[in-house]
Chain A
């Protein structure tokens, strides 16, 4: 409803202009974060992450697949996201919404651009490669599902074991070492309202803000970005928030399990 959103915007705007956020956080403070790696045994990799009251589970599975015709010697990475109806009264059953699709593609872009995965190492033989499926399962929605999902996805990848492949088939239940990863990718998502920016928007803040900006970083690079929402960001915003992301990246990486 258009007008209800305007009301929420006004309330948030008033709050922010007094320099405060609803839960007394600083503008660039994350809510409490927790990561639980390797919690599932049927999946080759898994993790749960929570940021504030948002909770996301990610499962990693391998299958044998045909490579893409234009990349015949490369494995396949496929990321999907489910905004489960039990996660929020705002989510309905049915095919993935544009929000679910955007979430999956943004998390995917961070992993893919960072080149942390060596997809050519997934080649088995002609017409046979390993496909790696990253499935984001949103269990509880209180805002900033992108950062929560990226964190869970990275933790899941860090916990992933390579399946044993014999004669072009996966032997389930047997493994061949851990999934090699080159870099740890993390994302930081910012909300913007008027001229103010703030990190890790809660659901209430998401309802009132003008737009969001997600920056995916490795220790040295920006590797993916996505702006969402109708508002506008300035160059100054972008450069400033990149600096903050690089700082926050260190904090976030410290929360992930060591390889």
Chain B
């Protein structure tokens, strides 16, 4: 989201280098571990920059309340939530904020597209994402982790999706904004792709972009989405390459 006092705006791009030394096409460091919880049907933990996010999946299970049920497919539910200790600033309020509710909806809708819900009529599939530590771009990290958690649970999907944001800083399009770029950039555009088809499943944008800038942003995002999928695939592969009987979330 944009904000920030433009009088104090720092230079975000100097000779092609961003505040943290990255180039415009460089992602922050991403690390994913799948299968970290014992009770959940599927789970994944992601570190993306300084973001630390945990995703858990339950389902297909009985759809509660009954009136939500569909005779033809599973109902997909999603809760995106931020821990009260996740931000650098104040202690967070309890209960979901309006922002959390909006993100829960757009994330759910991205997965409604790829989950093959017709396989499980009358049931529900629940996706829970907890932001343990936030550092800009949590919704993209949330989608990326949730996709791995769904794959871990064996929920059938048309693709393994992920999301990445693109920003405009000092007039240039750049991928994966960090916290400062989020605050002081001129545009923010989170996008979830289905890498298989190139379909866009989550799309939001604010700021000011020309047609060329939008096209450039989409191009950067597509390149990034391929790199992120590889990290997801490696994380899932590790579950089977290094099988464990008990799961642990290790954060270090």
Contacts and interface: CB of A to CB of B under 8 A. Distances in A.
Partners in one complex: yes
Interface of A: 34, 36, 39-43, 46, 48, 50, 53, 55, 57, 59-63, 80, 82, 84-89, 93, 95, 131, 133, 135, 137, 139-142, 172-173
B50 A135 contact: no
A141 B39 contact: yes
Nearest to B38: A53
Best-surrounded residue of B38, B61, B87, B128 (most CB of chain A within 10 A): B38
A86 B85 contact: no
A135 B87 CA distance: 13
27 contacts: A39-B52, A39-B251, A39-B252, A40-B251, A42-B86, A43-B86, A48-B251, A53-B247, A55-B248, A55-B249, A57-B83, A59-B83, A62-B91, A84-B56, A84-B81, A85-B126, A85-B128, A86-B55, A86-B58, A88-B39, A133-B84, A133-B85, A133-B91, A137-B130, A137-B132, A139-B249, A173-B88
Main secondary structure of the interface of B (DSSP, over half): loop
A36 B248 CA distance: 11
Most buried by B among A87, A142, A172: A87
Interface residues of B, number: 39
A135 B84 contact: yes
B52 A139 contact: no
B249 to A, nearest CB: 6
Contact of B130 (A34, A39, A61, A86): A86
A57 B38 contact: no
Contact of A36 (B37, B91, B126, B252): B252
Given A59-B85, A133-B91, A139-B54, A86 B37 contact: yes
A39 B89 CA distance: 17
Contacts of A48: 249, 251
A244 B85 CA distance: 34
